[in-house]
Amino acid sequence: MPKTIQQSVVLPEAPEALFDAYLDAQRHAAITGAPVQIAPLAGAEFHAFNGALSGRILEIAPQRLIVQTWRSSHWTIDDIDSILVLTFWPHAAGGRIELVHVNVADHDYDDVNQGWEKYYWSRWRAHLERR
């Protein structure tokens, strides 16, 4: 049965800048260290980590909200696409990203849950510290 991941991360940058970086292919790739196809438009396709992740942007509220479908390349045909919701908030230390990731395939839940820290949050922190 699909599961839900909820995470919150504080990064040392304004929430507007975090929002913009996630939706900019060049900055997104600089953060993750892998090529990314993404655009700040509803309907735009999303591909990351050499095709390991894919989806489509469903909704954007500028500087505040990103909603996208999300799917791992090793999910089965019976696994439904998950939905990723990212909201961006001010925080005394910079910006806070609230993540809700619903319908994550049960067999991949642990890897996806840990993957957010491993492939996004820790790399984003390191990227910001290098600048």
Helix (H) or strand (E) holding 110: helix 109-115
Q: Give the CATH number for residue 77.
A: 3.30.530.20
**DSSP-based three-state secondary structure for 113:** helix
Task: Give me the pLDDT at residue 1, please.
Answer: 85
Dist CA 33 CA 30 (whole Å):
5
What is the span of the domain harbouring residue 84? 3-130
Mean predicted confidence (pLDDT) in 117-125: 97
pLDDT in tens, 75-90: 999 999 999 999 999 9
Dist CA 38 CA 28 (whole Å):
8
If one counts the domains in the chain, the total is: 1
Q: Please enumerate in sequence order all residues whose Cβ is within 8 A of that of 74, keeping only pairs 6 or more positions apart, or say none.
A: 52, 108
pLDDT in tens, 14-73: 999 999 999 999 999 999 999 999 999 999 999 999 999 999 999 999 999 999 999 999
Q: For residue 4, what are its two tokens?
A: 């839900």
Dist CA 127 CA 131 (whole Å):
7
